[in-house]
Structure 1
Amino acid sequence: MADPEDQTTETPMRHVSYDRFGEPDVLQLGQSAVPEPGPGQVLVRVHGAGLNPIDWKTRRGLGFAARQIENSLPWTPGYDIAGEVVAVADDVTTLAPGDRVMGMIGFPAGGGGYADHAVANADEFAIVPEELDLVTAGALPLAALTAWQALFEVAKLEAGQKILIHAGAGGVGHFAVQFALERGAHVVATASAANRDFLAELGVHEVIDYRTTDVAEECYGLDVVLDLVGGETGMRSLHTLGEQGVLVTIPTVTADDIISAAEEMGLRAHGMTVRPDAFHLDEIAELIEDGDVRVHIDRAFPLAQAADAHDLLEGGHVRGKLVLDCR
């Protein structure tokens, strides 16, 4: 391991954890020894840690990640980090101390992002473009990878196709609309009236106010629907698909029902779970370098205010992303 002595034994690290499922107030700031990287791992001084809907759902004891950690509490949440490498294991040759990195780490049972230091596998990281500060970069990996994999691996979106993206101004949504536009698709997005201008600035062709308009009456013959809402929204969206169209639904709790309904209608629908992929992150980083994609931060919170961040996150209606400033 590359000089662990001065990095890992002096000042304790701060981290947020919870020892039981519940409301945001179960999130507690504590201290522990700075971990050392094991084989294949690096130690990162975290600048930014992204927040995602899975974070509050897991904190409440909901979903598949909660099932995996329920017997190993207390647990430090957080799957998104960006920061500076401070130490690497002896067998790591791809990264070195001083590298600016971002990655989706510890998914789904490891976590560890809500901290000022984190260890993770070297192959989970991509280099952060110089154009992006490290706090902002911490908000990118999970949401951007979700959008990328849903659009290009599952839906196989192509140039010239017409796509409807629900919750286009949200964390995953604002990446998805930009990726789809960059690929040459015609992009329709749902959002509240307050986010119409934001999406127009990103280049979205049509914005539908979900509060006043039924998409099933407004859209038809679509090639792709990216459903980031689930439930009744996903169900109604099946009626907007063309015969060869495909719907990709992200919320796992209603995915099976939507997929079953699609089968009964002779249509295609798929669920998906995001996975770490540094190669995809590299491609996304290139788009940021070229100015084709930007990361919108709604608000940054100090690490000590993680509970306040969860309150806002759980309420929905966040434009872009929330991030913890762990410096």
Structure 2
Amino acid sequence: MHAITIPEPGGPEALVWGEVPDPVPGEGEVLVEVAASAVNRADILQRQGFYNPPPGASPYPGLECSGRVAALGPGVSGWSVGDEVCALLAGGGYAEKVAVPAGQLLPLPKGLDLKQAAALPEVVSTVWSNVFMIAHLRPGETLLVHGGSSGIGTMAIQLAKAVGAKVAVTAGTREKLERCAELGADILVNYREQDFVEEVRKATGGAGADVILDNMGAKYLDRNVNALAVNGRLAIIGMQGGVKAELNISTLLTKRAAISATSLRARPLGEKAAIVAAVREHVWPLIDAGQVRPIVDREIPMSDADTAHRVVEESGHIGKVLLVAP
């Protein structure tokens, strides 16, 4: 088969489309013939040499895919050859075939084509596990999403609105904020011109955000805590703004607030399967009903993954950038 390899870490040109051995599904795995994958920030970090795959995972980038089941490994039940699926991966999505633990497969939702479904597994699993399973966002509460026009952000807006929450977002351009508003965002903050702490407090009568979904890490830590409401929950899922910061514990104590930090890729298979099962139970009906949908910025041939990485690194896109297999 063909796959994107990374012979040496570096810029987008480090991504090389070439022939590699076909994967063989092991115990409890399914072989998927890939229709499409999607670009995530973690793929860029892997390309740069900063985020190696966990032990036993495919060495190729790609944390999600869609496609058709091509073969079943030993011990797999509930799936059949030819089933149209999408999948959460620890790696290997930038390829024509990938072996996937059966617990990380999801059926193709109603109303979506096979390529569109590649935009779902990573963002839906990340948002549902952090905002709902850990931070327990409830109807009537306020969620603040940093990077509201990203793949994660566009999904977080829709899911939060679907459960009856109020949504605040940050983004850097008017166009991006307008797209967030179209998806249901109530509070729009241009982080280049406005202080999100002040804007969220103003919009909530001084209370602040009950839940914050943060991709920035260190750069926003102190301001995020200040933006939290009493009993607020901060969920950190990225480090785009650095990895080290000081925190005033007194503020955290006064607000009786909580901070969580998670990643999906290296979690044990059982934890990933539990998240995927929760997504199938709670989110798939919303997608089937048309209440939630993936936001796709553009589709690019998988062999041109370097172009897709440049698009994502320039941050001009809205939603997900897909890589379409031959």
Tell me, yes or no, whether TM beats 0.5: yes
Q: Give 1:194's match in structure 2, choosing from 175, 186, 189.
A: 175
* Cross-structure match for 1:245: 232
Secondary structure of the residue aligned to 1:278 is helix
The alignment status of 1:308 with 2:307, answered yes or no, reads yes
Q: Give me the CA root mean square deviation.
A: 2.2
* Cross-structure match for 1:228: 215
Decide whether the 8 Å contact of 1:246 with 1:269 is kept in 2.
Answer: yes
Decide whether the 8 Å contact of 1:300 with 1:324 is kept in 2.
Answer: yes
Q: Give 1:263's match in structure 2, choosing from 241, 249, 252.
A: 249
* Cross-structure match for 1:322: 321
Decide whether the 8 Å contact of 2:302 with 2:325 is kept in 1.
Answer: yes
Decide whether the 8 Å contact of 1:52 with 1:143 is kept in 2.
Answer: no
Question: 5+ unaligned residues in a row in structure 1: which ranges?
Answer: 1-12
Decide whether the 8 Å contact of 1:49 with 1:113 is kept in 2.
Answer: yes
Secondary structure of the residue aligned to 1:66 is coil
| Aligned AA (2:19) | Q
* Cross-structure match for 1:40: 28
Deviation at 1:68, TM superposition (A): 4.8
Question: 5+ unaligned residues in a row in structure 2: which ranges?
Answer: 202-206
| Aligned AA (1:207) | L
Cα gap change, 1:164 to 1:290, in 2 (>3 Å): same
Cα gap change, 1:148 to 1:35, in 2 (>3 Å): same
Secondary structure of the residue aligned to 1:86 is strand
Secondary structure of the residue aligned to 2:23 is coil
Deviation at 1:285, TM superposition (A): 2.1
CA separation in 2, counterparts of 1:223 and 1:302?
40
Cα gap change, 1:288 to 1:141, in 2 (>3 Å): same
Deviation at 1:67, TM superposition (A): 7.5
* Cross-structure match for 1:203: 184
Q: Deviations over 1:52-96 (max 9, x none)?
A: 00000121122xx32857xx9993111101100011124211110
* Cross-structure match for 1:291: 290
Q: Deviations over 1:24-69 (max 9, x none)?
A: 111101113432322211111100111100000121122xx32857
The alignment status of 1:179 with 2:159, answered yes or no, reads yes
Decide whether the 8 Å contact of 1:165 with 1:188 is kept in 2.
Answer: yes
Decide whether the 8 Å contact of 1:179 with 1:293 is kept in 2.
Answer: yes
Decide whether the 8 Å contact of 1:45 with 1:86 is kept in 2.
Answer: yes
* Cross-structure match for 2:204: none
Bigger mean CA offset, 211-220 vs 292-301: 211-220
* Cross-structure match for 1:3: none
Secondary structure of the residue aligned to 1:97 is coil
TM-score normalized by structure 1?
A: 0.87
Q: Deviations over 1:169-191 (max 9, x none)?
A: 11101111111111111111112
Secondary structure of the residue aligned to 1:261 is coil
**1:27-66, aligned counterparts within 5 Å?**
27-62=15-50, 65-66=51-52
Secondary structure of the residue aligned to 1:76 is coil
Bigger mean CA offset, 112-121 vs 26-35: 26-35
TM-score normalized by structure 2?
A: 0.87
* Cross-structure match for 1:86: 70
Decide whether the 8 Å contact of 1:19 with 1:73 is kept in 2.
Answer: no
Decide whether the 8 Å contact of 2:36 with 2:323 is kept in 1.
Answer: yes
Cα gap change, 1:20 to 1:74, in 2 (>3 Å): farther
Decide whether the 8 Å contact of 2:127 with 2:156 is kept in 1.
Answer: yes
Cα gap change, 1:33 to 1:233, in 2 (>3 Å): same
| Aligned AA (2:72) | V
Deviation at 1:256, TM superposition (A): 6.4
Deviation at 1:224, TM superposition (A): 1.3
| Aligned AA (1:83) | G
CA separation in 1, counterparts of 2:34 and 2:57?
22
CA separation in 1, counterparts of 2:2 and 2:225?
46
The alignment status of 1:214 with 2:202, answered yes or no, reads no
| Aligned AA (1:38) | G
* Cross-structure match for 1:9: none
* Cross-structure match for 1:273: 263
Decide whether the 8 Å contact of 1:18 with 1:73 is kept in 2.
Answer: no
Q: Deviations over 1:219-243 (max 9, x none)?
A: 2222111112333234322211122
* Cross-structure match for 1:4: none
Cα gap change, 1:34 to 1:96, in 2 (>3 Å): same
Decide whether the 8 Å contact of 1:303 with 1:324 is kept in 2.
Answer: yes
| Aligned AA (1:88) | L
Identity of aligned residues (%): 31
Q: Give 2:129's match in structure 1, choosing from 122, 125, 149.
A: 149
